[in-house]
Amino acid sequence: MAKTGLVLEGGAFRGVFTSGVLDVLMENGIEYDYVIGVSAGAGNGMGYITGQVGRTRNVIKPKDHSQNYFGLKQMLKHGKFLNLDKMFFEYPYKQYPYDFDKFRKSDVALEVVVSNCDTGKAEYYDEREDIDRFLNLGKASCSVPLMCAPVKIGRYHYLDGSICDSIPLERALEQGCDRLVVVMTKSVSETPTNYGKAKAVMAMKYKHKYPNFYKALLERTDVYAKELELLKKLEKEGRAIVLRPGIDCINKFEQDDTKVEAFYQNGRDVATENLDILKEFALNNDKEAQDKEAI
């Protein structure tokens, strides 16, 4: 039986593009077997497997500014620009309720990518039983270097999953996926954040305490380039569908609500334009399962 995976890149507020794509998938009943998300992509994956249309778009950049988890107010009140505790431990229970019951019961695999600061390697988790641990993994995956403190989970400390594995294609293939639907939040020409340009600052912050993570920061752009080459290969072979923004990318922490909403809408538009092939990737799984049962 063919297995289709959904690979979701991160990108902070740019994740609203992915939210738009997934909202269209959910509205059309399109479900894939496996989901893997990085940073904002992990948050989008959370909403996708519970079928909560619109939730993640509001979580990433609340339309009600009084509910923001970022900015000067959070800095003054909590001492940090990004208050991810608010996003992961308040929103799901109050402002933007999360369907934990449906999450636990979902048959769709959801892996969250995190970067282990101690080893400098990516790790992948599908946690359903321990909700606090699951939310901490999501928080860790979204924790941007310098802006956020490492998140301790068990024996180790974790940060932004995109540092060690921005586009987790190989992981999806290792998990048995034959085909991939890959949602990117950057244009073809755009490169990821190059932490090597701030080498002195990174060294001061991480080189002594987390030398392996420091090395991963400096190697990030090279790893990303290799992942793009694999993506091109898979796309050429017909094993991957790649959805990218069709308009200019917004800033990672864009404050213009009009631009954010347009980026979300572009995600919806791109998904709608590719709806037939997106359905085909899902329907082929069902057809092969039915053929197998008929034998």
CA distance 287 to 239: 17
With residue 89 as reference, give the H or E element that holds it: helix 84-89
Both tokens of 242, joined, read 């790649």
User: What tens digit of pLDDT does each residue of 150-190 get?
Assistant: 999 999 999 999 999 999 999 999 999 999 999 999 988 88
Both tokens of 32, joined, read 């894939």
Choose among 230, 135, 115: nearest CA to 173: 230
**In contact, 177 and 3? CB cutoff 8 Å:** yes
Q: How much is the CA Rg of the chain, to the nearest whole Å?
A: 18
Q: What is the mean pLDDT of the chain?
A: 93
Residue boundaries of the structural domains of the chain? 4-12+14-294
Choose among 13, 67, 18, 70: nearest CA to 41: 18
Give residue 242's identity as a one-letter amino acid code: V
User: What tens digit of pLDDT does each residue of 105-119 get?
Assistant: 999 999 999 999 999
CA distance 175 to 191: 27
CATH for the stretch 4-12+14-294: 3.40.1090
Both tokens of 144, joined, read 């941007």
Name the DSSP letter for residue 207.
I
User: What tens digit of pLDDT does each residue of 265-285 get?
Assistant: 999 999 999 999 999 999 865
Phi, psi of 181 (to 5 degrees): -105, 115
Q: Which residues contact 248 (CB under 8 A, 6 or more apart)?
A: 187
